[in-house]
Chains A and B, each alone.
Chain A
Amino acid sequence: MSKVTPEEEKEILNSSPKGTFALMLAYGAMLLVAWLLLYFGRYMALGPAS
Chain B
Amino acid sequence: MQVDTLERRWVWVTGLIVVTMLASIIYTAFKLHAQPPSNVEIIDSTQLHLTEEFAEDNLGPRSNADGSVTVVLVAHRYGFSPNQIELPAGVPVTFRVATADTLHGLHIPGTNIDTMVVPGYVSEITASIQYHEVVKYGSLHADGKVTVPIYCNEFCGLNHHFMWSRVTVTRTPG
Contacts and interface: CB of A to CB of B under 8 A. Distances in A.
Interface of A: 16-17, 20-21, 24-25, 28, 31-32, 35-36, 39-40, 43-50
Given A16-B5, A24-B13, A49 B20 contact: no
Contacts of A21: 6, 9-10
B34 A46 contact: no
Interface residues of B, number: 32
Contact of B10 (A24, A43, A47): A24
B110 interface: yes
A16 B4 contact: yes
Interface of B: 4-6, 9-10, 13-14, 16-17, 20-21, 24-25, 28, 32-37, 110-114, 125-130, 133
Q: What's the dominant secondary structure at chain A's contact region?
A: helix
A31 B21 CA distance: 11
Contacts of A20: 6
Contacts of B128: 47-48
Given A25-B13, A43-B112, A48 B6 contact: no
B111 A47 contact: yes
A47 B114 CA distance: 12
Contacts of A48: 28, 32-34, 112, 127-128
Contacts of B127: 46-50
B17 A47 contact: no
Nearest to B34: A48
Contacts of A35: 17, 21
Given A20-B6, A47-B128, A31 B17 contact: yes
23 contacts: A16-B5, A16-B6, A16-B9, A21-B6, A28-B13, A28-B14, A32-B16, A32-B17, A35-B17, A36-B20, A36-B24, A44-B34, A46-B111, A46-B112, A46-B133, A47-B111, A47-B127, A48-B32, A48-B112, A49-B37, A49-B114, A50-B34, A50-B125
Given A21-B6, A49-B111, 19 more contacts: A16-B9, A20-B6, A21-B9, A24-B13, A31-B17, A32-B16, A32-B17, A35-B21, A43-B112, A44-B34, A47-B127, A47-B128, A48-B32, A48-B34, A48-B127, A49-B113, A49-B114, A50-B33, A50-B37
